Amino acid sequence: MAVGFLPWQTAFAQRWLQRQSSLPHAMLIHGLSGTGKREFALGMAQALLCERRAPDSPDFACGQCDACRWSAVGNHPDLMHLRPAALAAREGAEHAADEASLDDPAADGSSTTKKKLSEDLRVDQIRALEPWYHRATHRGGLRIVVLYPAEAMNTIAANALLKALEEPSPETLFLLVTDAPDRLLATILSRCQRLTIPMPTEDQSLSWLAQQGIEQGEAGQWLAAAGHAPLRALALSEQQSTPCPPWASDLMTGLAKSDPRRGGFSVGVLADELAKSAPVQWLPVFQRLCVDLTLARAGLPVRYYPKLSAVTGQRAQQASLEHWSLLVSWLNSQLPLATHPLNAKLFAHACLQRFCD
């Protein structure tokens, strides 16, 4: 059984497990968000620490030995998870509180708010591992650090990690996971072997979503709404009731019907509604709608919301391809503002107004 790995990762994982004795000290695991990079890293860690499989064999973790049981619950003394405290809490980690206790805003001079759990991987978390690198491993095997998302390190934290990467203690393996290798320090990148995680096929994604309890008839729509990333599709299905939020389909239907020469669609009420939730919830929906409009205007099938393809097609014809492309760029440029808009209502209004123009 492929303990820890997703179905589309098994052949790829086996190739790496067969090279255990020649693994580099650090690997950078990257690929499309929502396709299981973290699961792959944890699966590798569990397999490499399993005490019943022979090194350099293509076998996966047995799932039964002490090491496997500890890895599965995050208690293996030779396996460290490094992730932001807020993420640890979202993942339900038993030790999220310990990670949070390291979360002292004064420690590296960043301006994170006090009470809130940090979304950053903090320098103190990285430095706290220093004594651990120099002790003998508890089980006489590898010592593994799984760190994600690597782009959550600020420069100070990244430099602290660099120090550990530059002087690798024997038997230590770093598995860094990232959605955005281009946001990492070049000096970190140069010390890691890059590993691009395979994408699932449409069929693999759909059958995996069915195993997770997503209704077969709807799985394709969830998958499309998540940009064909199955883990993101599952997360989306847990966050919202329909693949396309009702407000977005109402908006697109309204815009498709409205005559732009008569002033188009009224945005006030919807802006108030959107302002009640965080922009990170709704801005990506505008981005996806807009990509679909661009594709429809170019005569291509839509990517994210196939159920809306008829109204998207009508709306797309109301402006030029250049208009929709510029709108995609503009929405992308708003993303950094989405985490901390100065005024949520104004921000929602501005985005909606621009989308409807």
Could you list the residues that contact Zn ion (CB under 5 A)?
Answer: 50, 52, 61-62, 65, 68
Closer residue to Zn ion in complex, CB, 62/235 = 62
Q: What is the DSSP string of 101-159?
A: HT--TTTT-----SSSPPSSBPHHHHHTTHHHHHSPPTTSS-EEEEE--GGGB-HHHHH
Closer residue to Zn ion in complex, CB, 65/102 = 65
Alpha-carbon distances of 92 from 6, 87, 106, rounded to whole Å: 20, 9, 26
Is residue 39 a contact partner of residue 5, using CB atoms and an 8 Å limit? Answer: yes
236 closest CA partner among 63, 27, 34: 34
In whole angstroms, how close is the CB of 74 to Zn ion at the nearest point?
A: 15
Alpha-carbon distances of 115 from 85, 103, 281, rounded to whole Å: 12, 9, 23
User: 């709108």: which residue's tokens?
Assistant: 327
In whole angstroms, how close is the CB of 45 to Zn ion at the nearest point?
A: 12
Task: Return the number of other C-beta atoms located less than 10 Å from residue 310's C-beta.
Answer: 13
In whole angstroms, give the CA distance from residue 11 to residue 317.
45
In whole angstroms, how close is the CB of 42 to Zn ion at the nearest point?
A: 14
In whole angstroms, how close is the CB of 65 to Zn ion at the nearest point?
A: 3
In whole angstroms, how close is the CB of 60 to Zn ion at the nearest point?
A: 9
Closer residue to Zn ion in complex, CB, 52/163 = 52
Closer residue to Zn ion in complex, CB, 70/282 = 70
Closer residue to Zn ion in complex, CB, 1/136 = 1
Q: What is the DSSP string of 245-310?
A: -HHHHHHHHHHHHS-GGGT----HHHHHHHTTS-HHHHHHHHHHHHHHHHHHHTT---SS-GGGHH
Closer residue to Zn ion in complex, CB, 65/338 = 65
Q: What is the DSSP string of 150-188?
A: GGGB-HHHHHHHHHHHHSPPTTEEEEEEES-GGGS-HHH
Q: For 4, left (φ over 0), alpha (ψ -120 to 50), or beta?
A: left
Helix axes 246-257, 344-356, angle to 10 degrees: 40
In whole angstroms, give the CA distance from residue 239 to residue 307.
19
- Token pair, residue 112, equals 């994170």
In whole angstroms, how close is the CB of 53 to Zn ion at the nearest point?
A: 7
Closer residue to Zn ion in complex, CB, 49/161 = 49
Cis peptide before 149 (omega within 30 of 0): yes
In whole angstroms, how close is the CB of 14 to Zn ion at the nearest point?
A: 16
In whole angstroms, how close is the CB of 234 to Zn ion at the nearest point?
A: 27
Closer residue to Zn ion in complex, CB, 48/296 = 48
In whole angstroms, how close is the CB of 59 to Zn ion at the nearest point?
A: 10
Closer residue to Zn ion in complex, CB, 62/93 = 62
